[in-house]
Structure 1
Amino acid sequence: MSGENEARARPGFGRPVASGSQTTSAAYYGPGGSKSLSGIALRAFCLGGALAVSAVSCAAVLLLTSSPLWRLPFFGACLAAFHFLEFWTTARYNHAAASVDSFLLTANWPAYAVAHASAALECLVVGALFPSRSWILFLPHALGPLLLLAGLLLVAAGQAVRSAAMAQAGPSFNHIVQHARAPQHQLVTTGIYATFRHPSYFGFFYWALGTQLVLGNVVCFFVYAAVLWKFFSSRIRGEEAALVRMFGDEYVAFRKAVGTKIPFIP
């Protein structure tokens, strides 16, 4: 065979990449890179495994025992699904911004991990000591199932709203507050944004509170509500200052017309 034929690119294979491009690609997509393909695959695999184990464990405890501790693997399943969807939605609708960090597994570390560990611990301790209690000991027993149902609905609705917000905003959505307008940034005011000014924050706020209702946590429910309210109040204030600089009167009018639907954050 001639050297010319051997050098010709085969169908389905790209031409040789310049060494400079290879170096740049390795920095992003290689091990340890911000878009490390092996890192993304590993995290997705672990989250999928965690979701499967949690779902099976939850079903087994519900079907085979009378223990209220099915709530713990349910919480694990919610967390696994949430973090996977954070990456998947970013990769699907804003692929240029997708990275290892898009899973949000280490966001606000270690406070985020401490919050979820505390929630799991409260559920475990109270469930073990008071397995037949209602959601809150001093409330009528009949309210327990209603609060559980409310929690399940909040978890489902919160996740749906957040994922829908990320999908609709597309390239205009970023997990990090942007302080300068990029060419792809557009002010989204239709669809879910016509109802919620910050639907991704609304979704996470109520999703998190819903998980605590399902867990049956009294202390963590109120702590979550207070901490999340403070966090989003501060974040929205800073983010909207940047949005006013980017979009001017257009954003000011949007802010007046559409509320956040988070209590005490207009």
Structure 2
Amino acid sequence: MSIEYHADPDPSSTSPDRLLFPGHSKSLSGIAIRAFCLGISLTISVGLTLTILFYTSSPLWRLPYFIGSLSLFHFLEFWTTAAYNTRAAEVGSFLLTANWPGYAIAHSFAIFECLVTNTLWSGARWLPFQLGSLVCLAGVALTIIGQVVRTMAMVQAGPSFNHLVQHQRNAGHVLVTTGIYSVFRHPSYFGFFWWALGTQLAMGNVISFMGYSAVLWKFFSTRIKVEEDALVRFFDNEYTDYRRRVGTKIPFVP
């Protein structure tokens, strides 16, 4: 007796795990290639940053520093989601194409501004005394702080964290008010806001810093209002009391 097996010519169209196949939202191959490329980008960027800093006096270390910061940010967006909100993890969790193409244009301009100013006016001092170096160090510090706060927020919120504003309360959706959330009402937004501004301070980008500040403040102030309208519906007085106690720590967003 023999058993004849007919392979499905297109398993991605019928399998209950079809979302894991190439071209779908949870494509394992798509996730793998993105993680691989981000790892290469981060490794090269760290190597170039340290090499330029230790073996030259060129200010162009800022370029690989920025690219490395971006690579780490996008990798951690996916990894943290996969580790602590596993069911929600998908290719889009890397946020590589979020708010496209504006996001890509902003970062491309930041790279262009840094390259031009540090090539054509590499010896210019925009600030008196040693303030330029202090601003740069402050930028690096803000980049680190912003990344740590955002990642901690995603870890603590777990399944309650989502990259998209939720307009319906899910079964596992709880209001988190302890830990990092007892200090920042929206720590993930605080983290991204100051992370992004920190990168521009570290790069010495005057125009991009002002542009990032305006765009990000507008984006988060609007998003927070929309999100909090939903949270008040979900949790009523519990969220209202929490909002009264804890601020966002984003300028002019109470």
Judge same fold: TM > 0.5, yes or no.
yes
Q: 2:83 aligns with which of 79, 92, 95?
A: 92
Alignment match, 2:183? 195
Q: Distance in 2 between matches of 1:193 and 1:84?
A: 23
Q: For residues 75-114 of structure 1, what are the structure 2 equivalents within 5 Å?
A: 75-114=66-105
1:209 aligns with 2:183: no
Shift of 1:20: 10
Q: For residues 29-178 of structure 1, what are the structure 2 equivalents within 5 Å?
A: 29-134=20-125, 137=126, 139-178=127-166
Shift of 1:24: 2.2
Alignment match, 1:221? 209
Q: Distance in 2 between matches of 1:36 and 1:45?
A: 14
RMSD (CA atoms)? 1.5
For residues 152-184 of structure 1, give each alpha carbon's deviation from its aligned partner in whole angstroms, at most 9, with x where no partner exists. 110000000000000000000000000000001
Please state whether the residue corresponding to 1:32 is helix, strand or coil: coil
Shift of 1:230: 0.3
Q: 1:24 aligns with which of 9, 16, 25?
A: 16
Shift of 1:129: 1.0
Identity of aligned residues (%): 61
Shift of 1:246: 0.7
Matched positions, count: 246
Q: Distance in 2 between matches of 1:220 and 1:93?
A: 33
Q: Which has the larger radius of gyration?
A: 1
**Residues 140 and 198 in structure 2, CA contact (< 8 A), matched pair in contact too:** yes
Structure 1 runs not aligned, ≥5 long: 4-18
Alignment match, 1:11? none
* TM-score, structure 2 as length reference: 0.94
Shift of 1:141: 3.3
Structure 2 runs not aligned, ≥5 long: 3-10
